[in-house]
Structures are given as structure tokens and as C-alpha cells.
Amino acid sequence: MKCDLIVVGGGPGGSMAAKTAASAGLNVVMLEKRQEIGDPVRCAEGVSKRALCRMMLPEPEWISSEVKGARIYAPDGKSIVMSEDKSGGEVGYVLERKVFDRGLAMQAAQAGAKILVKTRALGLLRKDGAICGVSGLRIGEPLQIEAPLIIGADGVESKVGRWAGIDTTLKLQDIESCAQFLVQDASIDDEYTEFFLGNSIAPSGYAWSFPKGEKLANIGLGIQGSRSKPGEAMRLLRQFMKTRFPNGKVVEMVVGGDPCSGPIDSAITDGVMLVGDAAHQTDPLTGGGILNAMQAGIIAGEVAAKAITAGNVRRAGLQEYEDRWREDFGKVIARSFQFKEFFVKLTDKDMNQLIGSLAKEDISKMDLPGMLRVLFRLNPKLLWGLKSLII
Amino acid sequence: MLTVNRYKCCYCGACVGVCPTCALELVETWLEVSAECKECGLCTKICPVGALEVKA
């Protein structure tokens, strides 16, 4: 089999890359190692409504629910509320990833991309040192696909980058170990995404409730890998459920690792571009990565079409992708990484002080930078280390 | 050696992401361990459900 571009991985990043490149006229093959695209889910499913709608018109069945805003709880139980249109980040829509991922893959197919499911990449093919395709297994049978350009959208367990010489191995402090239940409980707030802070709840991370409508929610938590031990995320989630949602009925279980390293040194090399979790393009503070992966996929698809047309798939021909994703959201995740590095060190007392200091402030009309400036004004000593980021 | 408790594993791939020798591979619901494994134990720490163990 021969084509212009192979996309490894059929998540949102891969599908957007395949769709964009196929729309631009490339002959695209997208490989998905699972037999079903979108399942099992490894995600809390929250996205910014505004950012998604800027990218595309979402199909109604992709959306589980729409929320009014975010409520953030300090370890002592005090909370603040941010409205959806101001809080940005991963607030607004809670998706149904199984349907969403499949919908995006179908858009890629409609644009002309060929999709091979239950097809796993095993390595890169090389000719005279240059990458010239992928070797794999399709439903257990060997398969070789020739293509001058590969997009690795193969997630947190990415291999394409490592095969091509980009070290994407995550250090323990740069990955969150996450566990989540889909829970039905009368006490779930259907209108607000909730975040719970505290070192005994989720050390160097947070717990969340992302409502999916009708008293159903993704309730989970993530902890920094360097503070994790075997089975710790699941143990803490059960503990959290017992204290916060003691009557919750668990109807599904989800686990996963979420990259939070900040931008990698390079997401390209000769003949290869990486998108999404494979390129650690998640926001290190929130852990959200769906929209960044999609945006990266769109840019990579456009650059792929240019590179193939120009006949230059070497690093120089792909540099536009590197420049554009860094300009688009790379700067944001670099900044978030600095915030994360600061926040993971906070004690419960610090977090209580920060949330408590906002009690008398009207933050309902504030955006995140505005709220940070207020926090800084009220807690200069505690937040001094973030001075250059906030002011 | 590194052992995988297949009854616990939820096949999320977090372990694959942290493996410094690229010894792990997630194939649908099956975690493969190759001879490259140096038994460093990083994967056991990140596993959200405690399915991995380095046994003497």
C-alpha cells in the first residue's frame, strides 16, 4: 500500500490531521490500533465551548451537557465560582468522547482519508536512512504502508516519536496518574464543573466532577506521578467517593496517564510530525488536551499538504508546523507549566488562604488573568514567585 | 521480573508513556512486556490501579 501521509492514531488529533490533509488533496491513511475508535475512553471529557465552536460546529450528539461555570473548592471546603464565559479553560461542554471521536474520524473518512482499524504500527520503514513508511499488523497480519510523511498522533503511549528519534518518554513528575468513575448520584451538580483541591484529596493534582446531565458525572482525580505509588490514584478516588459522594453509583471506570510536561523541545524531525498527547500538548495546569490536539492536527494537516506538494518532508519543510503550534497554544502551555510547577508545591493551608482571600471579592465577572491579579494583590507574599507571570 | 496483573490492568497506557527503555506496548487490552525491560519499576508507580509489580 502506498500513500502521501500516514497518520498513526485515530483520536481527535489524528482525525483532524487526516481530515485536513485529505481535504487538501493528499492521499491519507489513518491507523487505529484499537478495533473501536473512541473506546475505551481515557478522559474527563471537558472542553471550552467557545474554543470548540471556533474550530467547528459540534454535532448535538457529541455533547453530553453544557455547564454554567466552574466551582473550585479549597481543602477546607470553602469555594469560589467562575462563570463559563470567563473561566475559559476546560469549561463549557462535557463531551461524549465515544461519539465525538467517532464523529471526527467519520469527518476524516468523508474528506477522503482511508481508515484502518485494529491496525497497529510496529515500526518505521527506512530507505537510505530516510523514513519511507510504517510497518504494522492489520488484524494480526503483517502490513507495510509506504509514505514519505508520518504524523504520530499515538497518544500518551506514543511510539512514533521514539522510533523517529524524538524522546517523548515522560518523567514521573511530568505525568498525572488519573482514575475516574462515571457516577450517578442525586447530589451531583448538573450545572457546574467542580474542582476539589487538597493534598489529602489529590496530591499535586485535583479531583473533579464533570456533569454529563441527569445526575450523571465523570468524577475522578489526578495525582502527580512523582507522588504516586502503585494503585494510589484508584485508592484516593475511592476515598474521595466515600467522603464526597457516599451514595454514588458507579456505572463505568476510566483510568489514564495525562502528560503535563509543558512543550517538548521538538515535535518534528525528518519525515515525522507529532500531535496531541504524543507531543505532550496538554495544558499542564488543567490537564486538558482535546482542543490543543485538534488544533495541532489541523496545523499539521495543512503543513503536510504543503510539504508533500513542495516535495520537502525534511525538518525544514515541516518547520512551519513547529512554529505555528508554538505560537497558537504552545506559549499558553509553557506558561501553564510554570503555574503548575508553583501550584504543586502549595500546602493545604496555602490553598485555603488563596481561595479564602477571594470570599469578599466579586469574581463572577473576572477572567482567569484578572482573578490571578486579584489573588496576587491579596496574597503578595505567597504568590511572589509568580510575579513575572501575573503582572 | 515485571509482572502484569491482567485482572487489575485497565489498559490505559500510562506505564508505556513513562517506560525509559520503550519495553512496554499496549495492544488493545493486552500490555506486552519486552526483553528490553530493566525492572526499574517506574511503571509500577504510575499505574493508577496497581496492576504492575517488579518481583524478585
Q: List the CATH number of the domain containing A327.
A: 3.50.50.60
Cβ–Cβ gap A257/B10 under 8 Å: no
How far does the CA of residue B3 sit from the closest CA of chain A (Å)? 13
> How much is the pLDDT for A222?
98
Cβ–Cβ gap B49/A233 under 8 Å: yes
Residues A116 and A65 both lie in one domain: no
Total domains, chain A:
3
Q: Are A42 and A64 in contact (CB under 8 A)?
A: no
Digit-coded pLDDT (tens) for A321-364: 999 999 999 999 999 999 999 999 999 999 999 999 998 888 87
Q: Which residues of A touch B (CB under 8 A)?
A: 33-35, 40, 42, 118, 120, 155-159, 162, 168-172, 175, 177-179, 225, 228-234, 253-257, 259
- Minimum CA–CA partner of A159 in chain B: B22
A306: its cell numbers = 504543503
Residue extents of the structural domains in chain B: 2-51
Residue B14 pLDDT > 80 = yes
Residues A182 and A216 both lie in one domain: yes
Residues A243 and A178 both lie in one domain: yes
Residue A216 pLDDT > 90 = yes
Residues A190 and A268 both lie in one domain: no
Cβ–Cβ gap A257/B15 under 8 Å: yes
The more confidently predicted of residues A372 and A293 is A293
Give the HSE-up count for residue A115: Cα atoms under 13 Å, Cβ half-sphere.
26
- Helix (H) or strand (E) holding A63, with range, is strand A63-66
Digit-coded pLDDT (tens) for A181-192: 999 999 999 999
Residue A260 pLDDT > 70 = yes
> How much is the pLDDT for A86?
63
Say how far apart CA A194 and CA A203 lie, in whole Å.
17
In a domain, residue A290? The reply is yes
> How much is the pLDDT for A240?
98
> Which chain B positions have a beta carbon within 8 Å of A179's beta carbon?
48-49
Looking at every residue in chain A, the average pLDDT score rounds to 95
Residue A366 pLDDT > 90 = no
Q: Please identify, among A202, A232, A259, the residue that sits at the C-terminal boundary of a domain.
A: A259
**Which of A31, A159, A162, A177 to mutate to test binding with chain B, by most B CBs within 10 Å of its CB?**
A177
Q: Please identify, among A204, A230, A259, the residue that sits at the C-terminal boundary of a domain.
A: A259
- From the list A170, A230, A257, the residue facing B50 with the nearest CB is A230
Residues A27 and A82 both lie in one domain: no
Say how far apart CA A164 and CA A150 lie, in whole Å.
10
Residue A37 pLDDT > 60 = yes
Which residue range is the domain that position A266 belongs to?
A: 5-42+98-171+262-341
Residues A185 and A249 both lie in one domain: yes
The more confidently predicted of residues A84 and B16 is B16
Phi and psi, residue A75, nearest 5° = -55, -30
Q: Which residues of B touch A (CB under 8 A)?
A: 8, 10-20, 22, 24-28, 42, 44-53
Cβ–Cβ gap B45/A230 under 8 Å: yes
Say how far apart CA A315 and CA A33 lie, in whole Å.
27
In a domain, residue A229? The reply is yes
Cα-based distances in Å from A27 to A4, A117, A151, A334, B21: 5, 17, 13, 34, 34
CATH for B2-51 (3.90.1150.10, 3.30.565.10, 3.40.50.620, 3.30.70.20): 3.30.70.20
Which CATH number fits the domain that encloses residue A184?
A: 3.30.9.10
Provide the 3-class DSSP secondary structure of residue A128: coil
In a domain, residue A126? The reply is yes
Residues A188 and A207 both lie in one domain: yes
Residue A232 pLDDT > 90 = yes
What is the DSSP-derived secondary structure letter of residue A170? P
> How much is the pLDDT for A207?
98
**Residue percentage of chain A with pLDDT more than 70:** 98
Q: Please identify, among A229, A259, A289, the residue that sits at the C-terminal boundary of a domain.
A: A259
Residue A204 pLDDT > 60 = yes
**Residue percentage of chain A with pLDDT more than 90:** 90
In a domain, residue A47? The reply is no
> How much is the pLDDT for A365?
74
In a domain, residue A217? The reply is yes
> How much is the pLDDT for A88?
56
- From the list A120, A162, A234, the residue facing B22 with the nearest CB is A162
Quickly list DSSP for A324-357: HHIIIIIHHHHHHHHHHHHHTT--HHHHHHHHHH
Residues A305 and A363 both lie in one domain: no
**Which of B49, B52, B54, B55 to mutate to test binding with chain A, by most A CBs within 10 Å of its CB?**
B49
Contacts of A27 (CB under 8 A, 6+ apart): A2, A3, A4, A5, A112
> How much is the pLDDT for A87?
58
Average pLDDT of the segment spanning B13-38: 96
pLDDT band at A382 (very low <50, low <70, confident <90, very high): very high
Residues A247 and A371 both lie in one domain: no
Residue A371 pLDDT > 90 = no
Residues A266 and A308 both lie in one domain: yes
Q: Are A338 and A263 in contact (CB under 8 A)?
A: no
- Minimum CA–CA partner of A221 in chain B: B48
In a domain, residue A222? The reply is yes
> How much is the pLDDT for A363?
82
Average pLDDT of the segment spanning B40-56: 97
Residues A196 and A253 both lie in one domain: yes
Question: Does the interface ipTM go beyond 0.90?
Answer: yes
In a domain, residue A156? The reply is yes
Say how far apart CA A165 and CA A269 lie, in whole Å.
8
In a domain, residue A276? The reply is yes
Strands A249-259 and A175-184: antiparallel
Residues A61 and A209 both lie in one domain: yes
pLDDT band at A369 (very low <50, low <70, confident <90, very high): confident
pLDDT band at A226 (very low <50, low <70, confident <90, very high): very high
